Structure 1
Amino acid sequence: MTADDELCFASAHELAARIRARDLSPVEVADAVIERIERLDPHLVAFCAFEADQVRAAAEEAEQAVMRNEPLGPLHGVPISVKDLIFTTDLPTVGGSKAYVGFVPDEDDIVVERVRRAGGIVLGKTNVPDFGYGPTFDPVFGTTRNPWDLTRSPAGSSGGSAAAVAAGLGPVSLGSDGGGSIRVPASFCGIYGLNPSFGRVPLYPGTRDTRFPGFSGWESLERIGPLTRTVTDAALVLDVLKGPDPRDRHSLPDAGERYLDDLDRDLTGLRIGWTLDWGGYARVDAAVATLVERAAQVLADLGAEVETACPGFPDPAATFGTIMALDADLRTMRELVDRYPPGEAPPRLVTLLEQERSFVDASSAVAARKSLYNSLWRFFEHYDVLLTPSTPVTAFPVDLPGPTEIGGLPVTDPMPLARFTAPISLAGNPCASIPCGWSEEGLPVGLQIVGNHLDDRLVLQVSRAFERARPWADARPPAASAAGATASVSGRGDLHDHS
């Protein structure tokens, strides 16, 4: 790798510190990342909107601010990409939909405002499937590929964000997660994906503004969080994004604490429960189960009290589907379908609109959601942390809509990848996916770390402890050095032991 390539794999925390110290120029960083995107992204299709001149101009402005000794924000000069379901005023927000081609919002999403205010440079928009439904097949911009194996999918809907970060196309991407859309791509691409507590990071216009059907659904499910290569970077970005905003009635007050502080804690005596099957209804591939079990043992070796345990709720798949429909504005969504050319409306959207649901169905789903959360808070009376696989499988072939089998049995579930993530989306608990190893095929496997209500700090601390024991940030996917290559990680299972 060249020196510029190594610069592209530097953490946001390091880049910001070096820029503040005048050891590194924002322009130097921007030029390295731009060159890398132009070289690798034609093979990955991680980006759907990218203007090199715009990025350079922002970097030059950031450099002038340094030279003028102006106060610098915590992300000053750091390039950050933004998922194309998050509004940006200087780049199109298409959401992977032919109904929004050429749409440029008149206001930034709150998180973009905060990134800019912190000195971050918006690098571009990352690819998504049509309104975030499914793996990252984008009918407008093309299909995103997994940097670990270009024949495999990065999943969705933050697939472009995860692929970009994994391949060194910027240290951070902002993603969104309504059922697993940060955690699943993070797992498939071997990076860290943080899904903060519901309300921790305010959202608007996305999911909140009914002027934009397709973008305005998922109000009670969606969260925005960072995809990064290190836990420290995720904490750094969360410190920038958190805090209330009157445009989001769900947003939480800010107690003034910094998640970047006190990341390194002793896990001795921490109570951890882990499950591979949610008590019986979920399946998982053997390779994933083995690595997740080993990850649980790593935390036990660090002093935590670890045992198999499960909150014990019934399969919430039907509940999730009904809540998702309830969050959608079905009337305007039907009008939106009419904007598509005949026969080109996304099948998942058509299915959502065609399925008959009664008021009783909706009421029952709301009640089931309450019961699920009650199971979780009771679980957390006895445990501090819950562990599960992030996904039941590793990355599947890029031309498929999902895995065809799990645990050796055919897939019949309409949302098989969200088996472990969707229940936590319904509850709103803080959670993350962290790399816990690679399969014999060289494909990443993720561990989901779930915290108690509003305990984002502990999720980050447990993540950091695992990262220190089994670091992954130096792992480089094959596409990061030679686009077109497929993964080959000879004999690699567990992460390296650096404890």
Structure 2
Amino acid sequence: MDASGGLPAGRIVGLPATELATRVRSGELTAVDVVRAHLAHLDEVEPRIGAFRVVCREAALAEAHAVDTALTRFAMPLAGVPVAVKDNVAVAGEVCTDGCAARSGPPETRDSEVVTRLRRAGAVVVGITRVPELCLYGATDGPGTVSRNPWDTARSPAGSSGGSAAAVAAGVVPIAHGNDGMGSLRLPAAACGLVTLKPGRGVVPGGIGADDWSGMAVNGALATTVADLAVAHAVLAGEEPTPLEAPGRPLRIAVSTRSPVPGTGADGPARAAVDTVVAALTAAGHTVVRRDPPITPGAAAGALARWMAGAADDAAHLGVPLAGLQPRSRTHARIGRVVRAAGLVRPATADRFRERMVRFFAGEALDLLLSPVVTGPPLPARPWHERSFLANVTANARWAPWTAAWNLAGLPALVLPAGTRPTGQPLAVQFVGPPGAERRLLWLAGELERRLPWRRHAPVFDPAGASSPAPI
């Protein structure tokens, strides 16, 4: 039993962040007991998923005690909620490695702005999650470790926010910080059965690497419920969490299953997930039309140039020489140096594509766009860092063609669960909106959560057991 409410640890772990915070604010639970219970669960499941690079055990308990004794606890939207932070933003007292084993700089002296905002809201940082080197790839692994998907440990939790997604899907934390430069929030959410929002450009503070991958990368959160995601997003955006209001009219939503990458396409289960969501939207009274967004080869090249240059820029920002990188990343960064020197990262490319996408939504009065996220099951959990640059890039491009365009355009995009594959892994879909559509995306996600409820945690790791909804 815990000391402040009589709840066993197993009844604390698995509760949504919103419920935990409500109980801590009311005094029914203490933040210390909440954090202690989640640390115990972490100890139990971490050997099987490899989600964390650092566990901040003593610091987290001290931070939880500070929440319990704070006079402002009653106004904290995330009071006592354990969170994990991705290893590419600053956490005071810890080294930020960005997945580079060669990074050995001094500990950070201050938190990044997003970590400051989480802590100010009452969240407690319990650990720093694993990423692929320089956050470049769609699987999370490195020398001596392969992070695993709680839904199927033979599969990757994806990347680059893979450690954060694995931690949330296994119930270790209710929400986790991540960020997204080419799909790095949305791909792990799709792989691990979570809901996430990639905010639009400028909505949430950056501070990711040298320059947020030339403006493509944005911070966000991973969660198991839309309510948790909405609160986390509001905190990160510096907004007051408020109820999501209905738009007051049916939405007009485009649907496209055409892949922007030639030679790739969604498999049968991924297409069926889109069809399931289309049926739910239609039943709710929304209008769904078939429209393909005009994603041009020039836009694809613009995103690719920023991805390549980001590797070189971030290695230099960390003070890691190219010789200290994994072979795949070394090749990536060398290409990036050439791209940067040749002036191929052009702001006008992103600006033109953003304007084109704004016209796409406005021209036919479209509120949102629905698409697949990935072509098939997550990549296998293996030491991808031992494979070549070409093998990594090819595997990523074939699996995840639907995400990068929206980073270049700086538009908000949300991923939510939409069933399970016959083999048991989660299915997901992606919604994209015009600038400023974050709350519209969250509202619609909440409507779909009610109509098509999803299992909140991976079955084997689910601390609530049979209390989670059955997969749709």
Question: Contact 2:416/2:430 (CA < 8 Å) preserved in 1?
Answer: yes
Equivalent in 337, 341, 345 of residue 326 of structure 2: 345
Matching of residues 164-243 of structure 1 within 5 Å: 164-204=167-207, 206-208=208-210, 216=211, 218-243=213-238
Q: TM-score, normalised by structure 1?
A: 0.83
Aligned to 1:407: none
Matching of residues 142-153 of structure 1 within 5 Å: 142-153=145-156
Distance 1:5 1:70, change over 3 A: closer
Equivalent in 114, 117, 142 of residue 117 of structure 2: 114
Question: Contact 2:136/2:311 (CA < 8 Å) preserved in 1?
Answer: no
* Whole-Å separation in 2 of the counterparts to 1:191 and 1:358: 35
Matching of residues 385-424 of structure 1 within 5 Å: 385-399=368-382, 401=384, 412=394, 415-424=397-406
State yes or no: 1:161 paired with 2:164: yes
- Greater mean alpha carbon deviation, residues 26-35 or residues 51-60: 51-60
- Give, in angstroms, the shift of residue 27 of structure 1: 1.6
Question: Contact 1:177/1:195 (CA < 8 Å) preserved in 2?
Answer: yes
Matching of residues 444-483 of structure 1 within 5 Å: 444-480=426-462
For residue 134 of structure 2, give the secondary structure of its aligned residue in structure 1.
helix
* Whole-Å separation in 2 of the counterparts to 1:331 and 1:124: 22
Question: Contact 1:288/1:394 (CA < 8 Å) preserved in 2?
Answer: no
Equivalent in 384, 393, 416 of residue 367 of structure 2: 384
- Greater mean alpha carbon deviation, residues 49-58 or residues 69-78: 69-78
- Give, in angstroms, the shift of residue 231 of structure 1: 0.8
Distance 1:434 1:358, change over 3 A: closer
- Give, in angstroms, the shift of residue 323 of structure 1: 2.5
* Whole-Å separation in 1 of the counterparts to 2:72 and 2:91: 28
Question: Contact 1:89/1:106 (CA < 8 Å) preserved in 2?
Answer: yes
Amino acid at match of 2:224: R
Aligned to 2:91: 88
Aligned to 2:127: 124
- Give, in angstroms, the shift of residue 90 of structure 1: 2.6
For residue 215 of structure 2, give the secondary structure of its aligned residue in structure 1.
coil
* Whole-Å separation in 2 of the counterparts to 1:60 and 1:334: 35
For residue 227 of structure 1, give the secondary structure of its aligned residue in structure 2.
strand
* Whole-Å separation in 1 of the counterparts to 2:83 and 2:377: 27
State yes or no: 1:277 paired with 2:258: yes
Aligned to 1:13: 18
Residue segments in structure 2 that go unaligned for 5+ positions in a row: 1-6, 386-392
Amino acid at match of 1:222: A
Distance 1:428 1:48, change over 3 A: same
* Whole-Å separation in 2 of the counterparts to 1:330 and 1:474: 37
Distance 1:457 1:241, change over 3 A: same
- Greater mean alpha carbon deviation, residues 458-467 or residues 277-286: 277-286
Aligned to 1:313: 295
* Whole-Å separation in 2 of the counterparts to 1:280 and 1:82: 31
- Give, in angstroms, the shift of residue 412 of structure 1: 4.6
Q: Which has the higher helix share?
A: 2
Question: Contact 2:222/2:229 (CA < 8 Å) preserved in 1?
Answer: yes
Amino acid at match of 2:209: T
Aligned to 1:134: 137
* Whole-Å separation in 2 of the counterparts to 1:267 and 1:148: 37
Matching of residues 35-54 of structure 1 within 5 Å: 35-54=40-59
State yes or no: 1:32 paired with 2:37: yes
* Whole-Å separation in 1 of the counterparts to 2:268 and 2:382: 23
* Whole-Å separation in 2 of the counterparts to 1:46 and 1:331: 22
Question: Contact 2:138/2:396 (CA < 8 Å) preserved in 1?
Answer: no
Question: Contact 1:187/1:444 (CA < 8 Å) preserved in 2?
Answer: yes
* Whole-Å separation in 1 of the counterparts to 2:102 and 2:430: 34
- Give, in angstroms, the shift of residue 266 of structure 1: 6.3
Question: Contact 1:311/1:375 (CA < 8 Å) preserved in 2?
Answer: no
* Whole-Å separation in 2 of the counterparts to 1:49 and 1:102: 15
Distance 1:217 1:266, change over 3 A: closer
- Give, in angstroms, the shift of residue 137 of structure 1: 3.8
Question: Contact 1:334/1:353 (CA < 8 Å) preserved in 2?
Answer: no
- Give, in angstroms, the shift of residue 121 of structure 1: 0.7
Aligned residues: 451
* Whole-Å separation in 1 of the counterparts to 2:426 and 2:437: 27
Question: Contact 1:268/1:302 (CA < 8 Å) preserved in 2?
Answer: no
- Give, in angstroms, the shift of residue 414 of structure 1: 5.5
The CA RMSD over aligned residues, in Å, is: 2.9
- Give, in angstroms, the shift of residue 401 of structure 1: 4.1
Aligned to 2:4: none
Residue segments in structure 1 that go unaligned for 5+ positions in a row: 209-215, 244-255, 403-410, 483-491
Distance 1:358 1:161, change over 3 A: closer
Aligned to 1:485: none
Question: Contact 1:326/1:362 (CA < 8 Å) preserved in 2?
Answer: no
Question: What do the CA deviations read for 1:61-111 (whole angstroms, capped 9, x no partner)?
Answer: 22233xx67654211111111001111013332221022146411221100
- Give, in angstroms, the shift of residue 328 of structure 1: 5.9
Runs of 4+ residues deviating >6 angstroms: 358-361
Aligned to 1:333: 316
Amino acid at match of 2:409: A
- Give, in angstroms, the shift of residue 345 of structure 1: 2.9
Distance 1:357 1:236, change over 3 A: closer
Amino acid at match of 1:146: N
Aligned to 1:290: 272
Amino acid at match of 1:299: L
- Give, in angstroms, the shift of residue 326 of structure 1: 4.5
Amino acid at match of 1:301: A
- Give, in angstroms, the shift of residue 272 of structure 1: 0.2
